[in-house]
Amino acid sequence: MDAKTIAWVSYLTLIGWIIAYVSYGNLNPKSSLATYHLRQSFGIMVTSLALYIAFWMLVFMVPFLSFFITIIWIALVVLWVLGLISALNGEEKPLPVVGTYFQQWFQFIK
């Protein structure tokens, strides 16, 4: 796979991310585009998982929060779409609000 393909495949669920990461390991030389989007998509997945666990517990305690939780899920889907579009265009454009943090926090993806 080339770098651009790795970048957009990384946004296709956890399995897509794993396939992209394994393909990235075989990529020589390493691409900043692929690294960038592997970090961004990993950040979206980790954030989604953490919020899912937290919200799952909260909804049982405070049911009326489900409306706000729905809004947050929609925001995550919007971030996912923006990241995917950026990858398809071959751009290293950070996700709004969280993108720069994902690049700092997930430096272990090299």
Question: Which tens digits make up the pLDDT trace of 37-51?
Answer: 999 999 999 999 999
Q: Would residue 25 count as lying in a domain?
A: yes
Mean pLDDT of the chain: 90
Which tokens hold the place of 94? 């950070």
Q: Would residue 92 count as lying in a domain?
A: yes
Q: What is the dihedral of CA 75, 80, 84, 85, to 10 degrees?
A: 0
3-state DSSP helix/strand/coil % of the chain, to nearest 5: 75, 0, 25
Please state which of the ranges 7-16, 20-29, 74-83 shows the lowest mean pLDDT: 20-29
- 90 near 4, Cβ under 8 Å? yes
Supply the range of the domain harboring residue 47: 3-105
Q: Taking the model in full, what pTM does it have? A: 0.85
Q: What is the pLDDT of residue 63?
A: 78
Q: Is residue 28 over pLDDT 80?
A: no
Q: Would residue 110 count as lying in a domain?
A: no
How many domains is the chain partitioned into structurally? 1
- CA 5 to centroid of chain Cα atoms: 15
String of DSSP letters for 34-67: HHHHHHHHHHHHHHHHHHHHHHHHHHHH-GGGHH
Q: Would residue 14 count as lying in a domain?
A: yes
pLDDT band at residue 30 under the 50/70/90 scheme: confident
Q: Would residue 30 count as lying in a domain?
A: yes
Q: Give which of 100, 102, 84, 99 is closest to 8, Cα–Cα.
A: 84
pLDDT band at residue 82 under the 50/70/90 scheme: very high
Q: Would residue 69 count as lying in a domain?
A: yes
Q: Would residue 99 count as lying in a domain?
A: yes
